[in-house]
Amino acid sequence: MNPPEKKQQGCFIVIEGADGCGKTTHALLLCEHLRRAGRPALLAREPGGTGIGEAIREMLLNPAHHAMSMPTELMLYMACRGQLTHEAIKPALAEGKCVVCDRYLLSSVVYQGFAAGLGVEAVWEMGALVTENLEPDVQVVLDVSYENACRRRSRESDRIEARGEAFHRKVIQGYREVARDVPSAHIVDANRSIDDVQRDIQRIVDAETTEID
């Protein structure tokens, strides 16, 4: 009798960083790289990624909602994240796919926990509950200077992007400090060309995920 077939496991990759770091571009390019290598890949984004999540995204990013409190903002992000994890990420991983997510829990830890002062540990704990303890296999944190981030944000600012310089500088600082204590995180200098940054991302992901799936 033939031995039972080994169940294929997917890999969970997150691209993180401050607004203007280039994470959305690099998440897309990474997905294309994985697919060319014959590795089925799902591209997801936060906030959003599901019907419920996209409705929450509109509330979170709409500049008209300037009266939203920071605890409310955090809970909306968590609700969106929980739905994305349940509806899209976990099923894709169970099918053996690579999931490349544009932001995940580290974003809330940095933006709401560190930069906005709600507390890093409190956000980690809330996130563990919401995501059912699902942690990324690899997190690439794109480190960018405040000046370069501003130059790259050419479109009209959303509610989060419209916050002042002090907040966004603190976000950049938060990624540098918090990521140092996250075993799965790799900090990449995103002040360079797209090709150079993407080359480093692919090298990290290929090295860290080959054995997973």
Question: Helix, strand or coil for residue 98?
Answer: strand
Residue 1 within a domain = no
Contact 155, 108 (CB under 8 A): no
What is the residue range of 173's domain?
Answer: 11-207
What b-and-e string marks burial along 153-182, b requiring 16 or more CB atoms within 10 Å of the CB? beeeeebbbebeeeebebbbebbeebbeeb
pLDDT tens per residue, range 27-50? 999 999 999 999 999 999 999 999
Strands of the sheet with 138-143, listed across from one edge: 41-45, 98-102, 11-17, 138-143, 185-189
Q: Please state the domain count of the chain.
A: 1
Residue 213 within a domain = no
* Spacing of C-alpha 201 from chain mean position: 14
**Which residue stretches of the chain have pLDDT < 50?**
1-8
Cα separation, 207 vs 148, whole angstroms: 29
Give the pLDDT confidence score for residue 55 in this predicted structure: 97
State which amino acid sits at residue 68. Answer: M
Structure tokens at 26: 């690099």
The upper half-sphere exposure of residue 113, i.e. CA atoms within 13 Å in the direction of its Cβ, equals 21
Closest CA to 141 of 20, 21, 12, 10: 21
CATH of the domain at 19: 3.40.50.300
Q: What does the angle CA 142 – CA 143 – CA 149 come to, to the nearest 5 degrees?
A: 95
Residue 15 within a domain = yes
Cα separation, 131 vs 113, whole angstroms: 17
Residue 76 within a domain = yes
**What's the mean pLDDT when you consider all of the chain?**
93
Residue 140 within a domain = yes
